[in-house]
Structure 1
Amino acid sequence: MRTAHAEVPPRVEYELSELAMTLIPHALALARWATKHNPEIDAHRAAYDTRPR
């Protein structure tokens, strides 16, 4: 949600809608997964980057 305030200087505030709030647990779960698997992700990336072309 966006709220514009008629002030000088102009000011705008943003907040998540109820629908967007339902995404937060999923985004946090994805972040936890990425953190947990970061070493494996890095290893795969390194293997890809050093493969013969």
Structure 2
Amino acid sequence: MNLVNPPGDWSYVYSPLLHAEWHGLMLTDLIFPFFLFIVGISIGYFFKLI
């Protein structure tokens, strides 16, 4: 919990816990949601076969 509590001073933050800069929505941001969509469709087809 020491890593996720507010540090009190932002100059002492553990750097891997800082948010990345926002560069807008990229095509690579859609890969995982698309993968989950395809898995959901595949599960539906699988249970239709049973």
| TM-score normalised to structure 2 length | 0.36
Going by fraction, where is strand more abundant, 1 or 2?
A: 1
